[in-house]
Amino acid sequence: MTARHGTLFGVGLGPGAADLMTVRADRLIANARHVAYFRKAGRTGHALTIAAPLLAKDAIHFPMEYPVTTEIPLQDPRYNEVLSEFYAQVTMHLRQLLLSGEDVVVLCEGDPFFYGSFMHLYERLKDTVRVEVVPAVTGMSAAWTASGAPITWGDDVLTVLMGTLPSETLIQRMTDADAIVVMKIGRNIGKIRHALREAGKYDRAWLVEYAAQEGQTVQRLAEAEDRVTPYFSIVLVHGQGRRP
């Protein structure tokens, strides 16, 4: 008889509110024997914080602690080298569990296939073990819902941008876009403000912090000039396209 191998479940947790999680995600988390999640060293991790009330007390935890976040510039070759080694190590541990017959639930903030760290595990494991992905509400969806206005109308094209992009790229993409979502803001907020001004869309921009989480705030970006934007922040420019 062929030994049964386990399944890796990449479970999307949504934007942060437990009641925005899918029924499938709830079930998998509640029944998880092995649970893995990303976090900064020494931190609980946002994914675990969201899922903790659902986990069994005897669940076996595998925290995957990033060796680097913002300590090395993205452009530095060492950044990818360090992270590649990190993903290789955690993938090896997960593969051993799966090949021994254990299922593993990986807790994923937002949606697993939308700029999530889980994608790096998926690419390294999908050809050797069974992997199932549970989609979720994205943080940007929660943000534009919190803003109280549709993000797109009619034929509007939505452009999703990373604040880490070069200023010239941001300006060009913002100029061409009908509706805009900007993620990964943090220390890039000044560059984002400049790009929006150059694109002529600054006065239409909104800042949403902690969408669908405790502490949620929504305000025009122009009214938040002195704010230090937290990690969970998204800038929006709503489309103004065709409507009946």
Structural domains in the chain, sorted by start: 7-137 (3.40.1010.10), 140-237 (3.30.950.10)
Query: Which pLDDT belongs to residue 134?
Result: 98
Reading the block at residue 193, the tokens are 């403000």
The string of pLDDT tens digits covering residues 134-177 is 999 999 999 999 999 999 999 999 999 999 999 999 999 999 99
Query: Which pLDDT belongs to residue 69?
Result: 65
Dihedral sign for Cα 176, 193, 243, 155, please.
positive
- The average pLDDT across 43-53 equals 94
The string of pLDDT tens digits covering residues 92-112 is 999 999 999 999 999 999 999
Cα-only R_g, the chain: 20
- The average pLDDT across 226-243 equals 88
Task: Kindly tell me if the per-residue pLDDT of 1 is higher than 50.
Answer: no
Order of strands across the sheet that contains 104-108:
60-66, 34-40, 104-108, 7-12, 130-134
Q: Are strands 179-183 and 233-237 parallel, antiparallel or unpaired?
A: antiparallel
